[in-house]
A and B are shown apart, each in its own frame.
Chain A
């Protein structure tokens, strides 16, 4: 093999690998898969899906571009580089649902031209704003008459079951999904079901019966059963009907919310007056107009109000982070309604996504994916420094490390929101002052502009890393 190494997350499929080389993204197609790849290309499916915006477009480039010789790939594809890679354990419910529906739609479209998907990994989907897009060109292969939906079990684990967790029980999938990385098994979700859930045909079949059949094979009968199953046939009409019913079911799923969201209605309940909100928006707008960032990270994005202000100012993409499901749902609605290139992800700033998976590198940490041109951290610092006891110096250094410039809001101790955090606990934060905060920031950055935006003395600080 030459000098370039495949990305750590692309080792599972022997059909090919993904490479990052000189800032460009390539995918190799190995000899063992070239016949399938040629067939799928001949059907015009790639072109059709890419034109509809469902599949990331690609170009076949010289197979020598990566300098690979042992083995030399049959083809090398180049795909556009996405501004940010996210993982299903960071997606909100509506985003995971949109990804699930995209997968089903692509599988149904593929079957029309004699093609099927070889798996149902949620990691094959990325987002451009709120628009999900399929990125794995090697998941497509020739459909063989009578074959089953190979990815059904994986689809249930990586899409369906995590959605059911929130739809039936009001529990977000993110923490569980991040732990397992592969979603939620059908056996696990079945243990949570009540009788009333099992009376529904879709739940009975895709959860209860699937798990029952999975677990009840004895050692004595398993080999006989597996031998028969490997040769069994599934009519194409049944395959399509199963996909269509699954599509219909998932499109009907909604989160079970029990009014537990603290921040979903923050716009109405926060301690800001409308003029304070306007001056804050104006500050962000001016910042974005001056910096013109390609990608902004908005930590503690809430309902996305200030992400939208950054977009209005000229930011090309915003990725927002919040740990409140209500805020994430509101952000998603905002992005859909106003067609914004804005993606809101689940993230606890005090516990961001780590490097994990095989060899500790299969899925990258948030820090490794830090590619933002600018960050917004509005009303975030007090949550980390006071609610989570993280030393102020560490909070400031972390924010400055994430992007070369940005806007940080400092909320002083006399503000009602900080008073609320301190109402039931001892104030052990003598250094938590605006002056100390500014001093720490200036150790690694210059302050371009700052402005007091509330009566309580909240201050917005525009910094540039030195």
Chain B
């Protein structure tokens, strides 16, 4: 459990952060809280990305369907 936690904490720290922010406060926010926030931010970010890809994926079919329906009957008769 301890090793798994350590692995997760370091992985999340190193992988998830992307942009730099250097706001340091007089209060120590605590490593645990910060890694957790990165994890939650990462999950939220992943959900956004998944939603985006899902829309594109669904849009692919919808686009085909729309193309199908938009095709004029006369074209079909040709």
Contact = CB atoms under 8 A, between A and B. Distances in A.
Interface residues of B, number: 39
Interface in A196-243: 205-206, 209-218, 221-222, 224-226, 228-235, 237-239, 241-242
Given A119-B25, A209-B36, A146 B20 contact: yes
Interface in B2-58: 2-3, 5-6, 8-10, 12-14, 16-41, 44-45
Interface in A222-270: 222, 224-226, 228-235, 237-239, 241-242
A320 B26 CA distance: 36
Contacts of B20: 146, 231, 233
Contact of A147 (B3, B8, B16, B23): B23
A156 interface: yes
B31 A148 contact: no
Contact of B32 (A119, A145, A213): A213
A215 B69 CA distance: 59
B21 A233 contact: yes
Nearest to B28: A153
B22 A231 contact: yes
B14 A228 contact: yes
A13 interface: yes
B10 A225 contact: yes
Contacts of A397: none
A241 to B, nearest CB: 6
Contacts of A224: 10, 14
B22 A212 contact: no
B29 A148 contact: yes
Interface in A137-180: 144-154, 156
B13 to A, nearest CB: 5
Contact of B27 (A119, A144, A186, A232): A119
B21 A152 contact: no
Nearest to B48: A237
A146 B19 contact: yes
B32 A153 contact: yes
Contacts, number: 145
Main secondary structure of the interface of B (DSSP, over half): helix
Given A230-B24, A235-B41, A221 B10 contact: yes
A463 B2 CA distance: 64
A229 B44 contact: no
B33 A146 contact: no
Contact of B41 (A216, A221, A234): A234
Contact of B18 (A148, A205, A233): A233
B13 A229 contact: yes
A145 B40 CA distance: 17
B5 A118 contact: no
B37 A149 contact: yes
Which of A12, A151, A206, A235 gathers most chain B CB within 10 Å?
A235
A12 B26 CA distance: 9
A235 B32 contact: no
Contact of A232 (B5, B6, B9, B17): B17
Given A233-B17, A238-B41, A213 B35 contact: yes
Q: Which 8 A-B pairs have the closest CB atoms?
A: A214-B32, A146-B21, A232-B17, A153-B30, A147-B23, A216-B5, A216-B6, A213-B35
Interface of B: 1-3, 5-6, 8-10, 12-14, 16-41, 44-45
Given A228-B14, A238-B40, 14 more contacts: A144-B22, A145-B21, A153-B29, A209-B39, A212-B9, A213-B5, A213-B36, A214-B30, A217-B31, A221-B6, A225-B31, A228-B13, A232-B17, A233-B19
Interface of A: 12-14, 118-119, 144-154, 156, 186, 205-206, 209-218, 221-222, 224-226, 228-235, 237-239, 241-242
6 contacts: A150-B23, A205-B40, A212-B9, A229-B17, A234-B37, A242-B37
